[in-house]
Amino acid sequence: MNPSLDKYFVPEPSKYPIFGSIALLLFGAGAVMWLNEVGPGPIVFFLGIAVLIYMLFGWFGQVVRESEGGKYGKRVDASFRWSMGWFIFSEVMFFAAFFGALFYIRVLSVPWLASGDNEALLWQGFTGNWPTAGPTAAETFTPMGAWGIPALNTLILLTSGATLTWAHHGLIKGRRDQLRNGLLMTILLGLTFLGFQIYEYFHAYADLNLRLTTGIYGSTFFMLTGFHGLHVTIGAIMLTVMFFRVQAGHFRPDHHFAFEATAWYWHFVDVVWLILFVVVYWL
């Protein structure tokens, strides 16, 4: 951090945003074409992803160079803090939509379907016991239990939060080895989590007859855990980037917000999992 910088850093014109826009246009248009089987959907879709990756590398690369080049003063640092906080809040609200849906389904609408006129006239015999694949479900399925892999995964994520904090302490106290090892452990734990999650999905499809299409249980289960898994993946990628930056000698005890932001994000993903574990797997 450079306290002599009292002028707020305003970046030069940049070509990256427009690449980002083109990327999302290709991504969206490609997905639409793919889903509706018109035109070269997958090609456009993956082209969009490629452009997006190029953009992210270029843009973040530039930010890293500016940061390490000492262009960001205290106020820019404060801006980053505010923005990361509110960004995470927006992610919380995204998950809230799905948790809210699960709550509504479990507490209100499924019991409605299984009672009164709904049961008598439309869905005779539907009991509405959770988990359910809905009143017309023809096949049975086994719900995902909480105390096998999911419990283990809870432990893994909690541990990873601790190792990350340990790494952070290393960074603050200038112990680069502790930082490196802590980060590495966190990444490995994250990957283990993801590995288990993937295994669990295979297990669900192969042995439990539990699919995305398994009525409302399958829908909420896979969408919630899937979006969470996606966020773990993003977090793991961020951690990996941090690891390479540490290897490159970046960050100082008093100037490492990128690291902290990643840590915030990781803890957020952790908390989402805890709620998930309780309301999706356990209760």
Q: Which of 44, 73, 135, 272 binds other proteins (CB under 8 A)?
A: 135
Q: Which of 1, 5, 56, 137 binds other proteins (CB under 8 A)?
A: 137
- Asked if 202 touches other proteins (CB under 8 A), the answer is no
Contact region with other proteins (CB under 8 A), list: 31-39, 168-176, 178-186, 230-238:
31-39
- Asked if 5 touches other proteins (CB under 8 A), the answer is no
Q: What is the DSSP letter of 174?
A: T
Q: Smaller CB distance to other proteins: residue 80 or 166?
A: 80
Q: Smaller CB distance to other proteins: residue 217 or 273?
A: 217
CB-count exposure of residue 221 (10 Å: 0-12, 13-18, 19+): buried
Q: What are the b/e assignments for 242-273, b being 16+ CB within 10 Å? A: bbebbeeebbeeebbbbbbbbbbbbbbbbebb
- Asked if 79 touches other proteins (CB under 8 A), the answer is yes
What CA–CA distances, in Å, run from 40 to 34, 173, 222? 7, 53, 28
Q: What are phi and psi of 143, to 5 degrees?
A: -70, 160
Q: Which of 15, 139, 140, 283 binds other proteins (CB under 8 A)?
A: 15
Q: Which of 46, 54, 60, 87 binds other proteins (CB under 8 A)?
A: 87
Q: Smaller CB distance to other proteins: residue 136 or 140?
A: 136
What is the crossing angle of helices 149-172 and 257-276, to 10°?
160
- Asked if 86 touches other proteins (CB under 8 A), the answer is yes
